[in-house]
Chain A
Amino acid sequence: DAKTTQPPSMDCAEGRAANLPCNHSTISGNEYVYWYRQIHSQGPQYIIHGLKNNETNEMASLIITEDRKSSTLILPHATLRDTAVYYCIVRVAVASYDKVIFGPGTSLSVIP
């Protein structure tokens, strides 16, 4: 799996958009970008993933640069419940045989 780098921590005002960056400069052509989050001490939760195009679901939007070397997860209207650690991972989506490695992630604090 390609290595990712994320800032260790970020703050965001409640109601504003939270933009979480991720660098993955060694990503391969068949590797997807995945985002997970971990609230307090719960198990991580899947948020979104994408290959080349920007993606949006009910939780967030994912913007991937044209060269695919970086991406940004956007929480459009952050709430206090979005305070969590966010993990960016790159991996092949459909293969069954790749191990999934998590980095330290970004600790997002949403401030009232």
Chain B
Amino acid sequence: NAGVTQTPKFQVLKTGQSMTLQCAQDMNHEYMSWYRQDPGMGLRLIHYSVGAGITDQGEVPNGYNVSRSTTEDFPLRLLSAAPSQTSVYFCASRDSGDTGELFFGEGSRLTVL
């Protein structure tokens, strides 16, 4: 199993550009989520999904859109990138069984100029 795969690992955007961060998991997890992490800070939840067709907002959803058309994929869209969105983004999925352990991707480092 590949686990949680994020692409791209690095991206540089100009202010106002749009892009999509991809996240895919091959563990058949219902729960998927996106976090951002800024220097010296913990992870902040952006959006999450509890299954295909169901998404909800986290702590810092503004400026981001998500959709969940399949169990495997949970893309994060920036419609008009801003410098404040410069961050490292982590995707995570969770087993809804006994442990409920979160599995994280390796992260996507985004710089908005």
Cα separation A95 to B100 with both chains bound (whole Å): 8
Tell me, rounded to whole Å, the shortest Cβ–Cβ distance linking A40 to chain B.
Answer: 11
Shortest A107–chain B CB gap in Å is 9
- Pairwise interchain contact B100-A94, C-beta atoms closer than 8 A: yes
CB-CB < 8 A to A44: which residues of B? 43, 90, 92, 102, 104
- Complex contacts, B59 vs chain A, CB 8 Å: 101
Q: Beta-carbon contacts of A85-96 to B below 8 Å, as 1s and 0s?
A: 101000111111
Using C-beta atoms within 8 Å of the partner chain, give the interface range for chain B: 20 to 34
Contacting pair B58 A102 (CB below 8 A):
no
Distance in angstroms between the alpha carbons of A63 and B103 in the assembled complex: 23
A46 engages B96 (CB within 8 Å): no
Q: Which of A1-56 contact B (CB under 8 A)?
A: 32, 34, 36, 41-46, 49
The reply to whether A87 and B42 contact each other, CB–CB distance below 8 Å, is yes
Taking the complex as formed, is A81 at the interface, i.e. its CB lies under 8 A from any CB of chain B? Answer: no
Q: Name the distance in Å between A83's Cβ and chain B's nearest Cβ.
A: 16
Name the distance in Å between A87's Cβ and chain B's nearest Cβ: 7
Q: Are B88 and A41 in contact (CB under 8 A)?
A: yes
Q: How far is the CA of A85 from the CA of B90 in the complex (A)?
A: 15
- Would you call B42 and A94 a contact (CB within 8 A)? no
Cβ–Cβ contact B90 & A43, under 8 A: yes
- Give chain A's interface residues, CB within 8 Å of chain B: 32, 34, 36, 41-46, 49, 85, 87, 91-97, 99-105
Once the chains are docked, how many angstroms separate the CA of A49 from the CA of B90? 21
Q: Pick the residue among A42, A45, A104 that contacts B42 (CB under 8 A).
A: A104
With A97-B50, A99-B48, A101-B59 as known contacts, state yes or no: A43 contacts B42, CB within 8 Å: no
**Could you give 14 example pairs across A and B, Cβ below 8 Å?**
A36-B102, A43-B105, A44-B102, A49-B99, A85-B42, A92-B100, A93-B99, A99-B33, A99-B56, A99-B58, A100-B45, A101-B58, A102-B35, A102-B43
**Distance (whole angstroms) from the CB of A5 to the closest CB of chain B:** 12
| Cα distance A97–B103 in the bound complex, in angstroms | 16
Most-contacted residue by chain B among A34, A97, A100 (CB, 10 A): A100
Of all chain B residues, the one with the shortest Cβ separation from A92 is B100
Q: A96-B30, A96-B31, A100-B102 are in contact. Are A41 and B107 (CB under 8 A)?
A: yes
